[in-house]
Amino acid sequence: MLKVSLYRYNPEVDQEPYMQEVELDTGGKDLMVLDVLELLKGSDPSLAYRRSCREGVCGSDGMNINGKNGLACVTPISEALKNGKGGNKLVLRPLPGLPVIRDLVIDMSLFYKQYEKIKPFLLNDTPAPAIERLQSPEERAKLDGLYECILCACCSTACPSFWWNPDRFIGPSGLLQAYRFLADSRDTATEERLSDLDDPFSVFRCHGIQNCVNVCPKGLNPTKAIGHIRNMLLSRAT
Amino acid sequence: MVNSVTNLGRNGLADWLVQRVSGVVLLAYMLVVGFYLLCSGSDLSYEQWSGYFDSTFMRVFSTAAVLSIVSHAWIGLWSVSTDYLTERLMGGRATVLRLAFQAASAVVLFTYLVWGIQILWS
Ligand code: SF4
Ligand code: SF4
Ligand code: FES
């Protein structure tokens, strides 16, 4: 039997959040954490969480699994238990730092607001060519390790700087995307993008703690992207 | 862009750069003074110690170190105050508290600055 500890909170009924202890027969299989949730929801339909693709593509089931943020659908129980906190028990909590709507579902508005701020689309003031804007293979290669982000928010909600200033610090996810457009050869708005970022909070609240790198389920490195942005700001100003 | 009037430089980059440069100056200063202390051993007299700081080089270097401490500390304390003394964490009274904390830090650091320069150059 697998012991599971679940964060439960339904603001319409509960005064405050509590941890619910349940047990589940996994039939000895090393299920994914999402499978565990699906089985539990079978017996208690009031359990709330987000999920869609169940294969690490949509980014909707980010949660805190035994103390570490990750996607439930691609985290096997065995790996979750290795995270340390909880011993032999699976401990599931919502992503930290943002308001909880219900159970494992958080309000991501601030996260998306930061994403919106960096203008996540190509800006180009030159006349559009007849078919498409071309890139050389080298130019395209610069986007590797950046475009793969699925906006699951595992990184930003693991970042202390984002916990303290989610309204002013863009956060690792948004900054990775900011660099994705700064690095794109088809984008001509580099100057505006950089001047939008050059304040004491948007980029410079990053203290290089690297929690973000540690949790990204896609293996991306926001800290490195933030370093690139800082260097761009530096070479523009000196 | 998030503007602020109480940070040290005009923008985030300036603060960041000042923080790095002042850090390097302080490290170099500690190494130089630490090395002198190590070399002179335990029988260091007051005359030797004060003579060491009397040279123009040490006066300039010490002044740079004092300036570095003050700016480094201001940027650090300002960051701490805008991380923890915020409306998000403590509600409406945060603004008053943050301003009070920043004012107190400014008074202490300004005193250090003037006092340090006075000691070095009088
Ligand atoms: S490296 Fe920067 S962005 Fe990443 S967790 Fe640390 S402070 Fe946050
Ligand atoms: S960088 Fe990684 S952890 Fe952060 S939102 Fe993108 S995919 Fe998720
Ligand atoms: S359900 Fe889509 S990423 Fe997990």
The residues, any chain, with a CB within 8 Å of residue B26's CB and separated by 6 or more, are: B65, B68, B69, B72
Q: How far is CA A18 from CA A6, A11, A13, B12, B114, in A?
A: 8, 11, 12, 41, 55
What CATH number did the domain enclosing A46 receive? 3.10.20.30
Q: Which chain A residues are closer than 8 Å to B82 by Cβ? A: 165, 200-201
User: Could A200 and B4 be called an inter-chain contact, meaning their C-beta atoms sit closer than 8 Å?
Assistant: yes
Q: Domain span at residue A181?
A: 108-237
What CATH number did the domain enclosing B32 receive? 1.20.1300.10
User: Same domain, yes or no, for A120 and A101?
Assistant: no
The mean pLDDT value of chain A amounts to 96
- Residue of the CA atom closest to atom 6 of ligand 1: A209
User: Same domain, yes or no, for A9 and A47?
Assistant: yes
Assess: ipTM above 0.95.
Answer: no
Q: Is the CB of A208 under 6 A from ligand 1?
A: yes
The mean-pLDDT minimum among A184-193, B39-48, B100-109 falls in B39-48
CB A49 within 8 A of CB A37: yes
Q: What is the pLDDT of residues A117-141, one digit of tens each?
A: 999 999 999 999 999 999 999 999 9
Would B9 be classed as within a structural domain? no
What CATH number did the domain enclosing A231 receive? 1.10.1060.10
Q: What is the pLDDT of residues B80-110, one digit of tens each?
A: 999 999 998 888 899 999 999 999 999 999 9
| pLDDT value of position B91 | 87
Rounded mean pLDDT, A203-212: 95
Domain boundary pick from A88, A105, A122: A105
User: Same domain, yes or no, for A79 and A172?
Assistant: no
Interface residues on A facing B, Cβ-Cβ cutoff 8 A: 161, 164-168, 195-205, 230, 233-234, 237
User: Same domain, yes or no, for A160 and A94?
Assistant: no
Domain count, chain B: 1
Would B12 be classed as within a structural domain? no
Would B7 be classed as within a structural domain? no
**Ligand located closest to A32 CA:** 3
pTM value > 0.80: yes
User: What tokens does B80 get?
Assistant: 């701490």
Domain count, chain A: 2
User: Same domain, yes or no, for A94 and A118?
Assistant: no
DSSP string over A42-107:
HH-TT-----SSSSSSS---EEEETTEEEEGGG-BHHHHHHTSTTTTEEEEEPPTTS-EEETTEE-
User: Same domain, yes or no, for A14 and A99?
Assistant: yes
Ligand 1 binding pocket mutation candidate from A168, A203, A211, A229 (most atoms within 8 A of CB): A211
Q: Domain span at residue B80?
A: 20-121
User: What tokens does A56 get?
Assistant: 């690490």
Residue B1 has pLDDT above 70, yes or no: no
User: Same domain, yes or no, for A149 and A223?
Assistant: yes
Strand A2-8 to strand A89-93: parallel, antiparallel, or no bridges (unpaired)?
parallel
| pLDDT value of position A238 | 83
User: Same domain, yes or no, for A115 and A225?
Assistant: yes
- Residue of higher predicted confidence among B91 and B23: B23
Residue B2's pLDDT band (cuts 50, 70, 90): low
User: Same domain, yes or no, for A128 and A214?
Assistant: yes
